[in-house]
Amino acid sequence: MIKRLKASYMLYNFFHRKKLQHNARIYKKLGLRKWYFSPVCNKDFEKVDRNSIPKSDNITTVENTQLFNKLEADSQKSIEQFETQGYAIINSYLTSETVDAINNEIEEMLKQQAIDFKYRNKIMFAIHKSALLRSIGEDPRLIELLSALIQDKIKLFQSINFLTGSEQKTHSDSIHMTTFPLGGLLGVWIALEDIELDNGPLHYYPGSHSLPYYLNDDYDNNGNFLLIGKKGYTEYEKMLEKKIEELHIKKSVFTAKKGDLLIWHANLLHGGEPHTNKAKTRKSMVFHYFAVDRICYHEITQRPALMEY
């Protein structure tokens, strides 16, 4: 019950004013009567015109970005179909040496207990501990390409490192990391070793980003004035499973080579396949980016997102 109390999140947020100024500025611009520490969810924006938040100016086109122009034709082609497919793959984005350096860094940080696993097998926010990881997530050429893909200025929000398959059921990141207007998030997934069918590859549903954004409303998880919704996360997963079945959409599996990178759209349905061969690891890294000129929050828990500046 305590975990559902909006007041407990508000108290926590109250002491993180600086990291919540980003949203507060936009609330003010929109005339929303909301404190920086208040709960926030999609319902708050029902009456707000999405065009009242202009997109960032001066964002170059994908074809004019430095990274795009250095890529092989197959990766360029994949990036060009991002808008229709909701994902793009860049083959051999990182060199084998860079990937080895990342894996060594993770191993060393685990040994030093500078980082640890959360939610079973996720190493969260290692970018806060490693300049190397942060420099990869914040590589200006990658940032430029990602910004061009959504024609909005973006900023690295979090990293997740895995040594084993996530085995996470199909979801859209927009239930976890949401924006107003919707769509201001990108995920970047990097294979830190070869990943095959038996060590839990990433899966995704091409084109699924064009489906509606399924949010708290869609599985009766809005809660009330005092409490966030009471439906467990498995209820969300079940709702999506049903939608996928009804819609007959087709799954793809990303069997990746060490250093390959996949970008997903804020609403692309994706997850992790079963990791059946436990003799193997599944080393990978995810970066999530928020569009800086949007309200950034967590729909499922109705918390504003704490942004590092």
**At closest approach, how far in Å is the CB of 278 from ligand AKG?**
16
DSSP letters for the chain: -GGGBHHHHHHHHHTTHHHHHHHHHHHHHHT----TTS---GGGGTTS-GGGSPPPS-PPPGGGSHHHHHS-HHHHHHHHTHHHHSEEEETT-S-HHHHHHHHHHHHHHHHTTSS-EETTTEEE-GGGT-HHHHHHHT-HHHHHHHHHHHTS-EEEEEEEEESS---PPSB-GGGTSEEESTT-EEEEEEESS-B-GGG--EEE-TTGGGSPP--GGGGT----SSB-----HHHHHHHHHHHHHHHT---EEE-B-TT-EEEEETT--EEE-----TTS---EEEEEEEETTSEEEETTTTEEPP---
Task: Select from 241, 228, 265 the least CA-distant residue to 88.
Answer: 265
Beta bridge partners of 90: 261
Nearer to ligand AKG, 169 or 231 (CB): 169
**At closest approach, how far in Å is the CB of 288 from ligand AKG?**
7
Q: Strand pairing of 295-298 and 303-304?
A: antiparallel
> Does 86 sit near ligand AKG (CB under 6 A)?
no
Nearer to ligand AKG, 37 or 189 (CB): 189
**At closest approach, how far in Å is the CB of 221 from ligand AKG?**
19
Cα(215)–Cα(202) distance, rounded to whole angstroms? 22
48-56, 161-169, 208-216, 223-231 -> range binding ligand AKG (CB under 6 A) = 161-169
**Which x/- pattern over 170-209 shows residues binding ligand AKG (rule: CB under 6 A)?**
---x-------------x-x------------x-------
16-24, 113-121, 166-174, 294-302 -> range binding ligand AKG (CB under 6 A) = 166-174
**At closest approach, how far in Å is the CB of 171 from ligand AKG?**
7
Cα(289)–Cα(62) distance, rounded to whole angstroms? 17
> Does 41 sit near ligand AKG (CB under 6 A)?
no
**At closest approach, how far in Å is the CB of 50 from ligand AKG?**
24
Contacting ligand AKG (CB under 6 A), which of 115, 160, 182, 228?
160
72-80, 164-172, 209-217, 227-235 -> range binding ligand AKG (CB under 6 A) = 164-172
36-44, 160-168, 206-214, 246-254 -> range binding ligand AKG (CB under 6 A) = 160-168
Q: Which of residues 279-298 bind ligand AKG (CB under 6 A)?
A: 284, 286
> Does 305 sit near ligand AKG (CB under 6 A)?
no
Q: Which of residues 260-279 bind ligand AKG (CB under 6 A)?
A: 270-272
> Does 44 sit near ligand AKG (CB under 6 A)?
no
Nearer to ligand AKG, 75 or 161 (CB): 161
- The binding site for ligand AKG (CB under 6 A) comprises 160, 162, 165-166, 168, 173, 187, 189, 202, 270-272, 284, 286
